[in-house]
Structure 1
Amino acid sequence: MDRFTDRTDAGRRLAAKLSQRTWSDPVVLALPRGGVPVAVEVARVLDADLDVLVVRKLGVPGHEEVAMGAIGEDGATVLNDDIIGMGSIPASTVAAAREREAAEVERRVALLRPGVPAVELAGRTAIVVDDGIATGATARAGCAIARIRGAARVILAVPVAPPDAAAHVPEADEVICVLTPESLMSVGMHYIDFAQVSDDEVIERLRALRS
């Protein structure tokens, strides 16, 4: 099985794939936290602006690793209706999760983009980057934010995703990935080092690139 050494390696391989094409006024948008190390490499190779898009997964109660949806900046919300239906999850439970995570989105925006306005996206190509796609909920929310902010074209770029990923991300004009394994049990199994990325590391990487 082909695996990435770590997120930096994944970012370099993804950047190599993206650099084979010409992008019109690109902006690289990282989904924190895991997407940031990947996006940093992409932004360097494409010589593009870098920003973050804060999104939060709405986990199924008792099975938080399973996404029943996601919420992000600017009120962007996507719901996995199939999962909500299969779990018979009440609308009140979904609404409570949205309210809770919306507050966390605001807190994390203040933490990761303190006093810094979001990069202007109107008329530009938004390249939304994460470290991989599992259910696709957070990726969809990130792409929805870019669309709300006026991006002319929204590209979702990830190192690894299921073969049918494009069908699960209708908010993106195109999905680009390096690996598309037939059986994707988890994103982490396609990395040798998939250690959690800390807020401090995210802040430092963003500060270094902005300077």
Structure 2
Amino acid sequence: MWFTDRRDAGRQLAARLGAVPDAVVVGLPRGGVPVAAEVARALGAPLDICVVRKLGVPVQPELGMGAIGEGGARVLDERIRLAARVTNAQLAEVERVERAELARRSARYRGGRPPVELSGRTVVVVDDGIATGSTAKAACRIVRQRGAARVVLAVPVAPAGWRDRLRGEADELVCVAEPADFLAIGSFYADFGQTTDAEVLDALLG
């Protein structure tokens, strides 16, 4: 066990990051936002979100075969999709459902408020951990599209070898723990309860 909860993970991650001048911290809803809020507090940086939805394998939704995000970002891992024998029709249906949820969450969390301006800034993209990396990859592409001058992908925990998969997506990769026996993100937290929409809004408005 590495982390008590997401807030503890955020504090440990902030300590690993150190100083990041002229930063904006962007959390991935929902679970990445409490982590990102602690990082933003430690850096004295504004907090924003990057709404991304995993495209889960139909028979095993926790296994991501890709991700979609705001601004039309889309990442697909053909290796996983083919191994799981997901048809084009199944993929289209998963994407249809997730695009509807993406729109709902974006409207709910932003509430008409404009996104924080990222142009020319260092953007620290934060999630509560990385499994396949598809959502993190989509998020990095989104903030690049929004004008980030430099992208730092920072997570509390990720499997060994994650840097090879994501090296080209961010200028810097930061992680607290990279266990060789990685099974699931939640196994490294004492409390990994689901983050609610209300908690996301509290973090963004607080």
Question: Are 1:11 and 2:10 counterparts?
Answer: yes
TM-score by length of 2: 0.95
Kept after mapping to 2: 8 A contact 1:166/1:174: no
Counterpart of 2:105 in 1: which secondary structure? Answer: helix
What's the CA shift for 1:96? 2.6
Off by >6 Å, runs of 4+ in structure 1: none
What's the CA shift for 1:176? 0.3
Kept after mapping to 2: 8 A contact 1:15/1:45: yes
Counterpart of 1:182 in 2: which secondary structure? Answer: coil
What's the CA shift for 1:172? 1.6
Question: Are 1:113 and 2:110 counterparts?
Answer: yes
What's the CA shift for 1:163? 2.2
Query: Which amino acid in 1 is paired with 2:190?
Result: I
What's the CA shift for 1:148? 1.0
CA deviations 1:112-136 (Å, max 9, x no partner) are 0101111111111110000000111
Q: Distance in 1 between matches of 2:151 and 2:80?
A: 26
Question: Are 1:136 and 2:129 counterparts?
Answer: no
Q: Quote the residue 2:182 is aligned against.
A: 184
What's the CA shift for 1:40? 0.6
Q: Distance in 2 between matches of 1:96 and 1:173?
A: 34
Q: Distance in 2 between matches of 1:91 and 1:135?
A: 20
CA deviations 1:141-187 (Å, max 9, x no partner) are 11111111111111110000112112222322221000010121011
Q: Distance in 2 between matches of 1:90 and 1:183?
A: 31
Q: Quote the residue 2:193 is aligned against.
A: 195
Identify unmatched segments of 5+ residues in structure 2.
Answer: none
Q: Quote the residue 2:33 is aligned against.
A: 36
Q: Distance in 2 between matches of 1:12 and 1:179?
A: 13
Give the % identical residues.
55
Query: Which amino acid in 2 is paired with 1:199?
Result: D
Q: Quote the residue 2:24 is aligned against.
A: 27
CA deviations 1:49-92 (Å, max 9, x no partner) are 10011011111111111111010100111111111111222223
Match of 2:62 among 52, 62, 65: 65
Identify unmatched segments of 5+ residues in structure 1.
Answer: none
Query: Which amino acid in 2 is paired with 1:196?
Result: Q
Q: Quote the residue 1:204 is aligned against.
A: 202
Kept after mapping to 1: 8 A contact 2:24/2:123: yes
Kept after mapping to 1: 8 A contact 2:120/2:148: yes
Q: Distance in 1 between matches of 2:93 and 2:74?
A: 13
